[in-house]
Amino acid sequence: MTVAEDRVFYITTPIYYVNDRPHIGHAYCTVLADVLARYHRLFGEETFFLTGVDEHGQKVQEAAAKRGLSPQAHCDEMQAHFRNLWPTLHVVHDDFIRTTEPRHEAVVQEALQRLWDAGEIYRGEYEGFYSPRVEKFFTAEELVDGKCPETGGEVFRIQEANYFFRMSRYQDALIDHIRRNPDFIAPESRRNEVLGFLSQPLKDLCISRPKARLSWGIPLPFDPEFVTYVWFDALLNYCSAIGLYRDEERFRRLWSGAHHLIGKDILTTHSVYWTTMLMALGLPLPRRIIAHGWWLVDRTKMSKSLGNVVDPLSLKDRYGVDSLRYFLMREMVVGLDADFSEEAFLRRHNFDLANDLGNLVNRLVRFAERAFQGRVPPPADREVSSQDRSLREMAQAAGPLVRSLVEALRVEQAVEAAMNLVRRINRYLAETEPFKVVKEDPARAGALVYQALEALRIALTLLRPVMPGKCTELLKAIGADTTEGRLEDLRWGGLAAGTPLALEGAPFPRHEVPSFEGEPAAPAAEAPKAPASEGPALVSIEDFQKIQWKVGTVVSAAPVPGSDKLLALEVDLGEGAPRPLVAGIGKVYDPASLVGRQVVVVANLAPRKVFGRESRGMVLAASGDQGPVLLAPMAPVPPGTPVR
RNA sequence: GGCGAAGUAGCUCAGCCGGUCAGAGCAGGCGGCUCAUAUCCGCCGUGUCGGGGGUUCGAGUCCCUCCUUCGCCA
């Protein structure tokens, strides 16, 4: 598939649920789409980038009613949360669609009418259990303890007429398509999941909701007593936004390059519902469906008791949007989960951006200011050293390399490839030493600086889709053209000698990394080095203070069945509800004797399961020869009293 | 319960179709430079590639099995 046809890259994000507050997951997905769009544009393709919001459904109706607003007024207000966020993340989309817009509703109705006319939709009886929380029906077998299997919420038995899409007709065709197109669903593990899902008989899809129950939706054109099921409505945004049934020529062109970026939670709706809908409508399937992973914040769900809650999006205000985008793209492998922590973020910022890239720009510009009147010095007539040649060759190879990695969705490797060029330039300067050469041979020193600047220009061009703001600024600083990047920008020799250089301040100021294990916080202080191999490592007061010690009163105690040394305790830590804890003190202490006693507990220990029960903390005891001896305050104190 | 993925240096991870695949970055140690944001450059890793079996001249790389973790489905 390397035909040089006019290639189109049409990238979509999911349309986000308008009730949601934007979080790191929305931001990642949308920034990734933006980065991909910018890369493909750089590579000379026609690109189109669509995002938007999903505004129909029961929860919107309810949320609006709660606020005493009409659903539309509610949506008009809420959609701004997303629309206003994107510019602050330097996301530039070509269109932003809302499912309540007439241009969308008209297409949904047209599509429904066509399917109805073609017999792809039929009226049937539906009997099942309805969960309003997730707006889904479940069969009796699917319920868990008579509740919604997904949320545990209430369900209602419902028997009603509804309309069904003959999804089951397309099962074999869909399996066939997925088998024939190994890249259709990425990553491969998700593709396997879909094939696994399709190994079971596919049912028809209920695509209507009676208006009596849900009015906030698009009416079925052939039966105004019903509105359209939200997914059937929402998925069509990918087509309605680019002119389906209104501008067929534009639609065909853009749709031929369709790529859907989604979270792994909506894999089935996209790869099964959506694809079969398209088949029934006689439309081609998208080129790719790409499911990305989740960000885990500080490895777990954010925890209030740990006091380390970081809103990842707030980091852009403190450290810059470019650094945040760089981190998101560099740290996550598309398709897999990744960890988000401020510490990891600052490491990337300091090591990659401040030390390697920022310092490189800075040292080159400052040197040129002093030695070459602040202008790009002229290049040599011909390369005189092997370093000259190898640097140029690496820079010339970087473009095609990055392009192939981006097309393979290895974004983190593409970023790394560009950064490797940056590191190579630093090495080039160390090897050729222009700052020494300049004393004897200024012309040669100038040629060396030109060579380095030119390689840097290419590196910045390749990093620009990820950090559009900062890279544009730095390209300007080294005297490069900063109009929208193009394939030609990746050719060697684009920098014109004599262009003035200008850089104000350090491009990426270093930031202190909050102290963590093994890293002294204050560099000047004589950090006590841990004795090489003997004796326990010393911990800082900061580290010690991370642990919350509290006094608690034992409320209940009982042996853990199946263990002779574990006791299951409930300890009142003054938190309202007592904490379940498991302690290995059963051989020494009689459960009954513990109730009412006070103990010392590590309150912010990560919860873990012991013998199948959750333990949310640790009871402290001296580990004596005769077994554990519990620690207790010498006089009673209120439960929850901190220990320092 | 079924299906699938993962388990590689202290940490985070690369390793496609079996044969320089035993690697990178970070952390740590040593050395060099001083144009530069205490930055940059060089050198230093004896890892049972989760355990066990098997196929093969040869296996992190294929097969079987077990363990652990995660995901999807039921």
The amino acid sitting at A314 is S
Amino acid A532 CA to nucleotide B47 C1' distance, rounded Å: 22
The whole-number average pLDDT for the span A17-40 is 90
Residue A56 buriedness (CB in 10 A; 0-12 / 13-18 / 19+) = buried
- Amino acid A634: pLDDT: 67
DSSP one-letter code for A168: G
Which two structure tokens, joined as six digits, stand for A17? Answer: 């649920």
Task: Summarize the confidence of residues A255-284 as an average pLDDT.
Answer: 92
Question: How far is Cα A56 from Cα A79, in angstroms, rounded to an integer?
Answer: 12
State yes or no: pLDDT of A306 exceeds 60: no
Distance (Å, whole) CA A138 – CA A288: 30
A410: nearest nucleotide, CA–C1' criterion: B14
Question: Rg of chain A over CA atoms, in angstroms?
Answer: 31
With b for 16 or more beta-carbon neighbours within 10 A and e for fewer, the A444-455 pattern comes to bbbbbbbbbbbb
Tokens of A331: 């740290």
How many angstroms separate the CA atoms of A501 and A461, rounded? 17
Q: Is the dihedral of CA A147, A151, A156, A162 positive or negative?
A: negative
How crowded is residue A112: how many other Cβ atoms within 10 Å of its Cβ?
26
CA of A63 to C1' of B55 (A): 63
Angstrom distance, A530 CA to B51 C1'? 36
Q: Which nucleotides of B are covered by protein (CB under 7 A)?
A: 2-5, 12-14, 25-29, 32-42, 71-74
For residue A527, pLDDT over 50 is answered with no
CB A89 within 8 A of CB A30: yes
User: And the tokens for A62?
Assistant: 């309810």
Of the listed ranges A302-306, A333-337, A386-390, A534-538, the one predicted with least confidence:
A534-538
CA distance A2 to A26: 32
Question: Dihedral through CA A13, CA A18, CA A20, CA A24, nearest 10?
Answer: 30
Question: Which of A366-370, A402-406, A469-473, A534-538 has the weakest average pLDDT?
Answer: A534-538
CA A468 / C1′ B9 distance in Å: 36
pLDDT for res A304: 35
How many angstroms is C1' of B6 away from CA of A517? 28
- If residue A598 lies in a helix (H) or strand (E), which one and from where to where? strand A598-602
What integer pLDDT is reported at residue A532 of this predicted model?
A: 25
pTM for the predicted model, two decimal places: 0.78
Q: Tell me the nt nearest to A422, Cα to C1'.
A: B40
Peptide bond into A221 cis (omega under 30): no
Which residue shows structure tokens 């059963």?
A586
Q: Could you write out the three-class secondary structure of A262-294?
A: EEHHHHHHHHHHHHHHHHHCCCCCCCEEEEECC
Q: Are A217 and A210 in contact (CB under 8 A)?
A: no
Whole-number distance in Å between A297 CA and B50 C1': 27
* A162: its two tokens: 């509804």
Distance of alpha carbon A538 from alpha carbon A350, whole angstroms: 26
Q: pLDDT tens digit string along A201-251?
A: 888 998 998 998 888 999 999 999 999 998 899 999 999 999 999 999 999
Give the integer Cα–Cα distance in Å for A397 and A393: 6
Nearest-CA residue relative to C1' of B2: A196
Closest residue, by C-alpha, to the C1' of B33: A430
Nucleotide whose C1' lies closest to the alpha carbon of residue A352? B25
Percentage of the residues of chain A whose pLDDT score is greater than 70: 77
Report which residue is nearest nucleotide B14 when distances run from CA to C1': A413
Structure tokens at A51: 């995002």
Residues 6+ apart with CB under 8 A from A443: A378, A380
Kindly state the tokens that stand for A621.
Answer: 């005891």
Where does the pLDDT of residue A547 fall: very low under 50, low under 70, confident under 90, or very high at 90 and above? low
d(CA A164, CA A392): 62
| Alpha-helical runs (H) found in A118-183 | 171-180
Q: Which amino acid is at A634?
A: M
Q: If we measure between CA atoms, which residue out of A217, A239, A244, A253 comes closest to residue A58?
A: A217
- Distance in angstroms: CA A56, C1' B32: 65
pLDDT for the residue A408:
82
CA of A206 to C1' of B67 (A): 43
Do the beta carbons of residue A425 and residue A391 sit within 8 Å? yes
Return d(Cα A24, Cα A297) in angstroms, integer.
Answer: 9
The pLDDT of residue A567: 61
**Which residues, other chains included, contact A221 with Cβ-Cβ below 8 Å and sequence gap of 6+?**
A109, A110, A112, A113, A116
Please tell me which residue, A116 or A186, carries the higher pLDDT value: A116
pLDDT for residue A136: 67
**In A293-419, where do the E strands start and end?**
295-297, 338-340
Q: What is the mean pLDDT of residues A447-470?
A: 95
**Closest nucleotide to the alpha carbon of A506, via C1':** B37
Kindly report, residue by residue over A198-210, the tens digit of the pLDDT.
888 888 998 998 9
Percent of chain A beyond pLDDT 90? 46
Angle at A56 between CA A51 and CA A59, to 5 degrees: 115
Measuring CA to CA, which residue among A401, A379, A320, A307 is closest to residue A354?
A320
- For chain A, what is the mean pLDDT? 81
CA of A187: nearest nucleotide by C1' is B5
Residues A262 and A237 sit within 8 Å (Cβ to Cβ): no
